[in-house]
Structure 1
Amino acid sequence: MNRKKPKNVFVSGPISPHFIGESIAKHQSKTTIGAHDLFLGQVRADVIEGKPVTAIEYTAYEEMANQKLHEIREATFERYELNCMHIYHSLGTIKAGELCLFVFVSSPHRQEAFDAIRYLVEEIKAQVPIFGKEIFEDDSYQWKTNT
């Protein structure tokens, strides 16, 4: 495993489209990249037992989550030919329609980027201690279960 220090992937509040655009634009000068792929997670306005979800409040064991994300990141670099990778996840209350997860990879070839992004998102959902409390229109809530 690489000796790099784990990065803090958490941002307070929703992830803005402007931030995503800037992140992509920063890679235009990297001419060994042939493909980018990204995943954007957005809060859905699900209706559960007749009650609309208006937001999700995200919390995490940040140190543990950042360490686990670091391990997933390093394993992904070992498994796929990637130039770079960025992961950002929201903390706090994110309203329905707002972005809460941004995963971005760059690779010399598209198939590696496609495969890596799917692997990353599935590993994040399965392994990282990030918790979502679904908040309903009537201010009641329930803890979200990842599927």
Structure 2
Amino acid sequence: MHQESKIREIFQEGPILPEQVAASLQAHQHKKQIGAHSMFMGQVRADQTPQGIVAGIEYTTYRDMALEQMHQIREEIFAKFGLTCMHVHHSLGWVPAGAISLFVFTSSPHRKAAIEACAELVERIKKELPVWGKEVLEGEGHQWKSNN
């Protein structure tokens, strides 16, 4: 089962590409003890705000703190749900509206654990990681996004 306890990099510059999602799924086909995968993909919305339409989000983080916190969350989720695998990819920098900025992928022998772990993992990432999004508006202007 879960053997890694090292801090893993989760951040990448720019959006998560569809090819990355496909590659993650492809890489797990040889792991025949897995019976279920659950995935979450967070997409940047072109929200209409009182200040204008969101063109995209500029993500920043306090990387060392975020990676340490993610490591703790990872260990707790693995222990609670008995997962086989867990992968988290979070964008930094510019992500235009319509692109994916968060990809969470959990795997386990049975569907309930994979689904529940994925849902809890997403909620904890949004609440606990020091990641900030500055919504850049079409034309000029920006506003800080709340994590909800």
TM-score by length of 2: 0.96
After TM superposition, give the deviation of residue 145 of structure 1 in Å. Answer: 0.8
Which position in structure 2 is the counterpart of 1:31?
32
Which position in structure 2 is the counterpart of 1:116?
117
Which structure 1 residue ranges, 5 or more long, are not aligned? Answer: none
Q: Distance in 1 between matches of 2:4 and 2:99?
A: 34
1:4-38 C-alpha deviation (Å, 9 max, x unpaired): 32111001110000011011100000000000000
1:57-107 C-alpha deviation (Å, 9 max, x unpaired): 000000100110110000000100210000000000100000000000000
* Number of aligned residue pairs: 146
Which position in structure 2 is the counterpart of 1:136?
137
RMSD: 1.2
Which structure 2 residue ranges, 5 or more long, are not aligned? Answer: none
Which letter maps to 2:20?
Answer: F
- Structure 2 counterpart SS, 1:40: strand
TM-score by length of 1: 0.96
Question: Structure 1 segments of 4 or more deviating over 6 A?
Answer: none
1:79 partnered with 2:70: no
